[in-house]
Every structure is written in structure tokens, then in C-alpha cells.
Structure 1
Amino acid sequence: MNSPREVFISVDVETAGPIPGEYSLLSIGACSAFDPDNGFTVEVKPINDKFDPKALEVTGLSMEELRGRGLEPEAAMKTFSSWLATLAGPDDALVFVGFNAPFDWSFVNYYFHRFSGANPFGFTALDIKALYMGAMRCSWRDTRSSRIAEHLKPALSGTHDALCDARYQAEIFRLIWRDLLAHQ
């Protein structure tokens, strides 16, 4: 019996605050971790008016503008799910990859369950920070993005644009993956 093929998807989200349900998911960016040109992005209409001003300041997104141009959450999650289906067959395992994956995954998981009934990623995520910590045998404080970038020297950088950040994360993931494979 063959194990399912694992399809690693780098995902980044921008949100209106720290927790799903009370705060809105505002944008999703995703790409195939090993083919980052194959990407997906969507802006999402807020589910309420609640926001943390610091969250919006970081992203530059506007709740008012997203109410007009964002997709309804149901449509956004359906579109995301349809894109994911182009990357993986029915027997493949989608692996959610994120930098601080617990945060991003919590919003994606909540939105998939609330607005489409199921999360194609299942109930787990691979956290790049934890992967780096284990691979490099470093402390948690050494997993800050600035320290990882200083060590790995990625060509890309974070911008707080969800798709650009998903591609940046994918590059970091591949650099760690390369280092792990080199030490086997």
C-alpha cells in the first residue's frame, strides 16, 4: 500500500485581529511550496465591523474597501478549495505550511468549517518556525523571521501582502528542507 503523496501549500493570511470568529479574515495568499509561481490570492468581505487598528495598520487593508470589493466568505473559501483541488488528487494529502502556522491555520480552519463545511487541510499544519527550531537545534527566540532570514539568506522578503508572504514563506521552507536533506 502506497502512502498518499504530500502536497505542501504555503499559506499566509491577513486579518482584522488576533482570533477568528470575533475578527475577520481579510485576505488569503497561498502557493505550492515547491512551485511558488502556482499561487492563489483572494480578498474576503469582513464578517463584522470589529478590528484591531494595529492589524489594519500592518496590512494597509481597509475594512470599508473590503466590504465593497472582497468576496463573500462562502465564495472565497469555495474558490480557495477549488484552487487546492487543482494541486492534489483525491488520494493526496494537502499539507498546510505557514510561518507561525497556528495563527494562519486557525483562521483558515474556522472559515473553511463555518462557510464550506470542511477544511481540505484536515486538522493539522506544519509550522516553519518549529521546523527551523528542530532542524537548526536553536532556541525559540532564534526563530524570529529576521534571524531566520539572516541565516538562510532568502531572495524574497515579507511584505504583508498575503500572496507575496506565502511565496516568501515557501522559499524559507525550501531552504530549511534543503538543509535537512543535506544532513541526512
Structure 2
Amino acid sequence: MARELYVSTDIEADGPAPGLHSMLSFGSAVYDRDKTLIDTFSANLRCLPGAAAHPDTAAWWQTQGEAWIACRQDPEAPEQAMPRYRDWLRRLPGRPVFVGYPASFDFMFIAWYLLRFTGENPFGFSAIDIKTYAMAVLGREYRRTVKHTLPRDWFDDLPHTHVALDDAIEQGALFCNVLRAATRPGAR
């Protein structure tokens, strides 16, 4: 059986629900279990016809000037970007497992866009939520497991910019550090 590869993925959107709102950009960073960064993929997308930005999200984007500019550079039609992404996932040297923070948000957009524009989702239902995994490793309640309460040594010196690929790389390294902590002798 092929090894698992952890595809840390971050999306940027103009609202909370795919189809009603558009995914503006996404980035994926593929990590091996030992935290080797294998490959990356990113794309900026054109907005969906008939979809509209959510007012609260639009107001938030007004505070994110550089990230907004980055996600609007050279947008592609989803009909072009999503088949390229599907094919990239298929070419990975292992079985892709989606990793997100929060996976419930990012995965729903990626799954919807893959199914809508390619007819398939190479991840299937394989998705790991970093926050839930950290909750289990730390033995804490979910709502008490937030980034500022996680062990400092779980974080690499990587930026969180709201540029999808930057954030995918950052959260992929975080996931690998949690994975290492969970498998360390004496871990919970």
C-alpha cells in the first residue's frame, strides 16, 4: 500500500459556504511523516457566476490589503485550475490525506470545487483537522485548544499571512510537529 502524504491545504474565500460564495485562492503543501516538504500547489480563482461575497467576509478582506492583492493576481477559471489540481494530487508519490486548520472549512471548499469542476475528489473522505488532533494529543477540550495555548515548540518560524500557500506551509509544519509529539515515547 502506498504511503500517506499529508496535503496541508489553506483556502481563502469571500464567504462561509462554497457555491453561495467563491473560493478566491488555495494552496497545498505536501509533507511526508518526517516533515519533508515534498511539493506545493497554489492557484487564484475567478469568482463563481451568481455567487456573492458575504458582507462580513468582505469587511474582513478590507483589513487584509496585501493578502487581498495576492489572492486576486492572475485568477484562473475554476474549470482550468481544479483539473490541474486533481492531476497534481494524482501524481503525488503516495496517497493524499487532506490536512487543515480548520479542516471543516477548508475541506468543504476543496471537496465542493473538485467535485463541481472535475467530478471527483482524490482525497475521498480522508481529512485531518489539526485542532482536533492537537486536542487529542494534549487531552484538552476542543474549545480550549487554540493556537496561543499550544506548546511553543510545535510552531516553526513561519509566517501566517492569509496568503493561502504561506498558510498551508505553516500549518503543515505545525501538523508534523503535533504528529511527532503524539508518537514520542511517553506521549499521552
Query: Shorter-normalised TM-score: what interval?
Result: 0.7 to 0.9
Structure 2 CA distance for partners of 1:151 and 1:83, relative to 1, 3 Å: same
Q: What residue in structure 2 maps to residue 57 of structure 1?
A: 62
Q: What residue in structure 1 maps to residue 155 of structure 2?
A: 153
Cα distance in structure 2, aligned partners of 1:8 and 1:41: 16
Cα distance in structure 2, aligned partners of 1:58 and 1:130: 29
**Where do 4+ consecutive residues of structure 1 move more than 4 Å?**
none
Structure 1 residue runs without a partner (length 5+)? none
Cα distance in structure 2, aligned partners of 1:146 and 1:170: 17
Would you say how many aligned residue pairs link Structure 1 and Structure 2? 176
Cα distance in structure 2, aligned partners of 1:127 and 1:17: 20
Deviation at 1:178, TM superposition (A): 0.8
Query: Mapping of 1:163-182 within 5 angstroms?
Result: 163-182=165-184
Whether contact under 8 Å (1:15, 1:55) holds in the other structure is no
1:85 maps to which of 83, 90, 108:
90
Structure 2 CA distance for partners of 1:111 and 1:55, relative to 1, 3 Å: farther
Whether contact under 8 Å (1:16, 1:55) holds in the other structure is no
Q: What residue in structure 2 maps to residue 117 of structure 1?
A: 119
Whether contact under 8 Å (2:6, 2:30) holds in the other structure is yes
1:69 maps to which of 49, 61, 74:
74
CA RMSD of aligned residues (A): 2.1
Cα distance in structure 1, aligned partners of 2:182 and 2:60: 34
Whether contact under 8 Å (1:14, 1:162) holds in the other structure is yes
Q: What residue in structure 2 maps to residue 41 of structure 1?
A: 42
TM-score under structure 1 length normalisation: 0.86
Cα distance in structure 1, aligned partners of 2:15 and 2:96: 26
- 3-state SS, counterpart of residue 125 of structure 2: coil
Percent of paired sites with the same residue: 31
Cα distance in structure 1, aligned partners of 2:126 and 2:112: 13
